[in-house]
Amino acid sequence: MAILVLNAGSSTVKFALFDFDSLEVLVRGLLDWAGKTGEAMVRLEMPGQPPVRQELEVPSYREAVFAALKLLQKCFGASSDQYRLHDEVGPPLKLMQKCFGTSSLGRAESTDSISIPERDTPEGADRLPDIAGSSGPRFSATSSGGRSDSALPGLAARKIRVVGHRLIHGGEEIRQPVWIDAQMKQTIARYRHLAPLHIPAGLEAIAATEEALPGVPQMGVFDTAFFADIPPAAYLYPVPYEWYTQWGIRRYGFHGTSHAYCTERAAQMLGRPVEELNLIICHLGQGGSATAVQSGKAITNTMGFTPLEGFMMGTRSGTVDPGILLYVMREHSLSVEELDYILHHRSGLLGLSGVSSDFRQVEAAAAQGNHRAQLALDVYAYRVRAMIGALAVTLGRVDALVFTGGIGENSSWLRKEVCRGLQCIGVHLDPEKNQHLRPDADIAPADSPARVLVIHTREDYMIARCARQMLLEQMASDS
């Protein structure tokens, strides 16, 4: 039996197949637009086998997700009903003719599980699935979701029992993992204006999975859930109190699933109880945020009412003076819609560099002497460093600074620049370790008061663990 997990982000979709019992990774994949429109690269990795990849031409987010799942089936010889994808959905998709060959992707990600308790936005991502006429998943906890024979080579006697999704915003309404049915999709859609890069994408991924795996139950874990314990002094904004009581305007925090995993993993790496630790966790990818964690609980996050606040990001501005927004609307006649689009889609790395929303491409341009690209990188690092300082003050003591996410794990330059000047809070970086590391790693020198950890985030593992627990609990209640 297996669990399929999808993490639909603003510029990538990460997906993985987990063994239901052991939670070991069977197959892992990445669908990456890398700042492009209408084109995506999908990469599949299976333990003990060379990675495979394929460029896809896809007109919409939903069809890209469907194509990635179709490639998963094709590459591993899926033939049984529970894995078979329905060819009548969407136009013919350009899939690779064979799934073998050379790869320049480097080593596969670690599939070891840890011992812990029980863009630009792609074209079409703003097109919500038709949820009004959708029906919820019809299943019982004991249903098979399909035939029981083998679907993928090497996965004998396994079948997809449940699909888990990373979801972004549930407001104060949803703080626990949920089963996804028609009503829940409508509830999620109500928050789409608060996370326009993520919620439509997540709903498209749900729709694609429903088409690919009809009858298999789907569940979701919300990013905002990890921040349920943030105190009022941290989550309230200095605006009329009625904005909170009547309109729900407050800080929520995001990337919670990643921050929760890194909290547990950091405690394990340090060999200390999580209740003793003060951590600052920086999740840096196409989107980015940092969380101050005390005794295993988040006490604040750099994102706020929406994922637009905080760090400068790929296409998002992050925190700006609200007076600027009023000024450009009054003096330069920008409409609300124009301003919304610019702040979400034309700002951040893309807006400053003029090169790309992809950190890798901006780094490459800077290395070739592009001044604006270098300026964008400098602003990015400065703002991360400054906000880490603010979080350190809220904690009073920092035991470890954690870097995670695609940028945090892979850019040695950024880690060096962010840590430069943080000696005042006890953070010291070992240049050699920083340059030559393999996550998960401690890259601080032995005498550093605070440790500097680079952790490969495992949001998919956390979602799989939660999905399994929910299904087992339902099985117990049905028995």
Long-range contacts made by residues 16-20, C-beta under 8 angstroms, separation at least 24?
Answer: 16/460, 16/464, 17/72, 17/155, 17/160, 18/460, 18/461, 18/464, 19/158, 20/158, 20/161, 20/468
By DSSP bridging, strand 297-301 and strand 39-45 are unpaired
Structure tokens at 248: 């729900």
User: What residues have CB less than 8 Å from 14, skipping those under 6 apart?
Assistant: 6, 7, 28, 29, 30, 31, 459, 460
- φ/ψ region of 421 (left if φ > 0, alpha if ψ in -120 to 50, else beta) reads left
Q: Which of 32, 120, 223, 442 is catalytic?
A: 223
Q: How many CB atoms lie within 10 A of CB 6?
A: 26
* Residue count of the chain: 479
DSSP element (H, E) containing 186: helix 182-189
Q: How many CB atoms lie within 10 A of CB 2?
A: 23
Known catalytic residue at 442: no
Asked, as a colleague might, if the bond just before 223 is cis with ω within 30 of 0, I would say no
- How far apart (Å, rounded) are the C-alpha atoms in residues 194 and 254? 12
The residue ranges of DSSP E strands in 206-260, in sequence order, are 218-222
Full strand arrangement of the beta sheet holding 178-179: 52-57, 39-45, 25-32, 12-19, 2-8, 160-167, 218-222, 178-179
By annotation, the residues acting in catalysis are 223
